[in-house]
Structure 1
Amino acid sequence: MESQQYISIKELCVHHNIPTQFIMQLHDFQLIEIITIDNNQYLYETQIKDLERLIRLHFELEINLEGLDAIHHLLQQIETLKQDIVYLNNKLNRFEAL
């Protein structure tokens, strides 16, 4: 079983020059998951890519939190559809091989 790596929210905010309140708002919209360990808040390392995308959309394109929520949901649907296409292509290739 893999151990999860955590990134400090404070360090992320300093690195990206963003307010910690923005991270909390993303958490309120359930766009990211926050882990609390010893009164310090962390994100899973696997969330960094999504977080950086949300930061760019919000601060560079000025998309509000509701828009971020909609975009995040649509991107998840696209990823699911891509996985379904790969699965179905693999299944079709098996039948064509017969």
Structure 2
Amino acid sequence: MQNTHLIPIPSLCTHYQVEMSFFTGLNEYGLIEFISVEKTYCIHQDKIADVEKMIRLHQDLQLNYEGIDAVFNLLEKIDDLKSELITAQNKLKRFEDG
């Protein structure tokens, strides 16, 4: 993994106006993974969309880490169910066309 794809947590704190303790809590609860680079904690840029969702859930809905975790688990289940539905629809189309 290249360092160019890593974003320092202090930069995120400044950009999103969130305390470092929020990111530390997310990390401790297993919602994000810190990567240490030269004594600075970072996250991969691919996780920024999830981090933004977590910040909104925390700020807008006043959810704690447990609540954020529950919402992300439910969103993951919804994605799994959507995928299963698409697979079932594709199988049904094969039977209808055949």
Shorter-chain TM-score: which interval? 0.7 to 0.9
Q: Which runs of 5+ in 2 are unaligned?
A: none
When normalised by structure 2's length, the TM-score is 0.86
Structure with the largest fraction of helix: 2
By how many angstroms is 1:16 displaced?
0.3
Match of 2:64 in 1: 64
By how many angstroms is 1:17 displaced?
0.4
SS at match of 2:63: coil
Q: Per-residue CA shift, 1:55-96, capped at 9, x if unaligned?
A: 011112211121111111111111111111122222222232
Match of 2:54 in 1: 54
Q: Per-residue CA shift, 1:1-23, capped at 9, x if unaligned?
A: x9682211111110000011101
Match of 1:88 in 2: 88
Alignment partners' CA distance in 2, 1:28 and 1:59: 19
- Alpha-carbon RMSD: 1.9
Q: Per-residue CA shift, 1:1-57, capped at 9, x if unaligned?
A: x96822111111100000111011111111112111222211111111111111011
Match of 1:44 in 2: 44
Q: Tell me if 1:21 matches 2:21.
A: yes
Alignment partners' CA distance in 1, 2:82 and 2:6: 28
Q: State percent identity of aligned pairs.
A: 36
In the alignment of these two chains, the number of paired residues is: 97
Moved more, 9-18 or 65-74: 65-74
Q: Which runs of 5+ in 1 are unaligned?
A: none
When normalised by structure 1's length, the TM-score is 0.86
